[in-house]
Structures are given as C-alpha cells and as structure tokens.
Amino acid sequence: MNQSIVVITGASSGIGHSCAEVFAETGAQLVLWARRGDKLQHIATQLQEQYAVAVLCQTVDVRDSAAVRQAVADLPESHRSPDILINNAGLSRGLNTLQDGVEQDWEEMIDTNVKGLLYVTRSFLPGMIQKGSGLVVNISSIAARQAYRGGNVYSATKAATKMISDSLQIDLNGTGVRVCNIDPGLVETEFSEVRFRGDAVRAANVYKGYQPLTGRDVAECALFAATRPPHVSIQDILITPMAQATATIVQKDV
Ligand code: NDP
Ligand code: 8X3
C-alpha cells in the first residue's frame, strides 16, 4: 500500500481511526474526513510522527453534498482519484421502536449513512474509473442482515448501504474498480455513546461480559480486501466477536 492514496470518512474515532492507523502502517497517503477537525488533526499529527506518512485532514459533514463536492475539489488532483475510498462515516440514534420513533433521528441516520455515502462515492468514483483501478469499502453492519428491536431505521440504512455495494458491483463491472462491503457485529467504539446521546453507562453496558471487536479488527478486513491481487474481489465480509452468533444472540458472562 506504500504511497497509495486512501480516503477515509469518519476518521475521527472508532473504525475510521483504526483504518487510518492500519493503512498508515503500510505507508499509504491518507485523506481523513470528519466533522471534528481537532480530533482529525490530533490523529494526523500522531500518524505523521509515527509512520512518516502524508496526511490531509478535511473537516466535512458528509450530509452536505455541496461541502463534499468542495472538499474533493480542494484536494490536489492526484488525491481526487484515490486508490481506496473507505465509506465509514455513520451513526445510530436511539433504540426506539418505530411507533415511538423520532423523525429527527431518522433523518440524521438516513442523511448520514445513506445520502452521505452516496454523495462521497459519487464525488470520487469518476476519477477512480478514469484511472481504471481502486477499491471502495462500504462499512455496513450485521444490522443490515438481521432486524432487532429498536434497530428499525438504523438497520434500514445499513441494508441500503449493502444494496448500494451490490449495485456498485454491477455498475463498476469492467471498470477495474473493486467494491468490498463489510458487515461488522459489535465493535467497541464511540458508536453506542452516540446512539445513547452521551449516556456512557448505558453505552459501556453494550460491551460488557464478552470481548467485543476492536476498530482494528474491522480495519484489517479492509486492508485484506485492499491487498488482494488485481484479479481477486472480496465482495462481502461479515465479522463478529466470537461471542456473537447473530445480531441479538451474544454469549455474555454477566
Ligand atoms: P464512532 O462513533 O466511533 O465513529 C463514527 C465516525 O463517523 C466518527 O469519526 C464521526 O466523526 C463520523 N461521522 C458521523 N457523522 C458524520 C457526518 N455527518 N459527517 C462526517 N463524519 C461523520 O463509531 P464506529 O467507528 O463504530 O462507526 C463507524 C461505522 O461503522 C458507522 O458507519 C457504523 O454504523 C458502523 N458500524 C459500527 C458498529 C459498531 O458496533 N460500532 C458495527 C457495525 C457497523 P465526527 O463526529 O467527528 O463527524
Ligand atoms: C452496529 C452494531 O448491533 O448495534 O451496526 O447494530 S448493532
């Protein structure tokens, strides 16, 4: 991956941060996106010092299509057609049943997880297709495969992500650009704190009594897909903690 250009959305924490680390270790040049520019800058400085890699940070809200287009336009020409695009930015809000759902939460999830992913992908793909190579990694979820109580709209956004990945397999066939959809199970990140709006105790409970995945476990899947020979396409990955059998069945000690 030495000198490859890797764009990662949602790189300010969790899986995206781990992707930045894992690809920096290989000598890749990074473009990191998120809304919290201070966090991105901190991560960039650390990676530059540790791995001597080039890192560009852009403060972007992927829900804002004009901002996404502008951010791509602001990149040096070489970076507008990256070798790897990791569509990772995403979130869940609440665990309400649909009948008790909050419209604002639905809109935030749909706008970020579905429309944001589309805006970003649409902005980078023409350059990647022109180059005739590259990889798009979409971070979906086990929630795309199995519904669970209160998961409704979040699951729907992740099922949409998976269907966008499947559609891209077809639309990009013959272009040289690969697509890898990754469905992680439970990963200990800021995800649950965001879902429960800062309720740290409720968030911590999600990961108690078993060993959850780390962001790195997922990032290494992306790296595996990115390092296959050009004739190999890793289309779909489901990764869970050993303790997790399905979206809802988790062997917990407590
Ligand atoms: P984190 O909350 O730790 O990270 C989410 C990242 O997305 C942050 O960097 C956040 O940055 C960014 N983000 C959120 N909204 C926006 C936005 N509007 N524009 C730009 N960036 C945004 O959670 P995870 O690392 O766990 O989540 C990463 C992805 O993995 C998500 O798509 C999530 O749905 C998925 N996933 C997570 C699982 C888990 O168990 N943790 C399991 C399966 C899938 P900032 O706030 O700075 O903008
Ligand atoms: C996040 C994991 O199980 O909360 O996608 O849906 S889960």
Tell me the domain boundaries of the chain: 5-239
Mean pLDDT (whole number) for 206-224:
99
pLDDT tens across 110-119, in order?
A: 999 999 999 9
pLDDT tens across 120-139, in order?
A: 999 999 999 999 999 999 99
- Residue 154 catalytic? yes
- Which pLDDT value is given to residue 146? 98
Q: Evaluate if residue 106 carries a pLDDT over 90.
A: yes
Q: Which of 38, 104, 139, 197 to mutate to test the pocket of ligand 1 (most atoms within 8 A of CB)?
A: 139
Distance 214 CA to ligand 1 centre (A): 13
Q: Evaluate if residue 254 carries a pLDDT over 90.
A: no
Atom of ligand 2 nearest to the CA of 192: 4
Mean pLDDT (whole number) for 83-89:
99
Q: Tell me, using a 6 A CB cutoff, whether residue 143 lines ligand 2.
A: yes
Q: Tell me, using a 6 A CB cutoff, whether residue 156 lines ligand 2.
A: no
Distance 99 CA to ligand 1 centre (A): 25
What architecture (CATH level 2) is domain 5-239? 3-Layer(aba) Sandwich (3.40)
Secondary structure of the chain in HEC code, one letter for each residue = CCCCEEEEECCCCHHHHHHHHHHHHCCCEEEEEECCHHHHHHHHHHHHHHHCCCEEEEECCCCCHHHHHHHHHHCCHHHHCCCEEEECCCCCCCCCCHHHCCHHHHHHHHHHHHHHHHHHHHHHHHHHHHHCCEEEEEECCHHHCCCCCCCHHHHHHHHHHHHHHHHHHHHCCCCCEEEEEEEECCECCCHHHHHCCCCHHHHHHHCCCCCCECHHHHHHHHHHHHCCCCCCCCCEEEECCCCECCCCCECCCC
Q: Evaluate if residue 50 carries a pLDDT over 90.
A: yes
Q: Tell me, using a 6 A CB cutoff, whether residue 186 lines ligand 2.
A: yes
Q: Give pTM, 2 decimals.
A: 0.99
The mean predicted confidence, pLDDT, of the chain is: 98
Model confidence band, residue 2 (pLDDT cutoffs 50, 70, 90): confident
- Which pLDDT value is given to residue 1? 87
- Please name the residue whose Cα sits nearest to atom 4 of ligand 2: 186
- Which pLDDT value is given to residue 70? 98
Q: Tell me, using a 6 A CB cutoff, whether residue 58 lines ligand 1.
A: no
Q: Tell me, using a 6 A CB cutoff, whether residue 151 lines ligand 1.
A: no
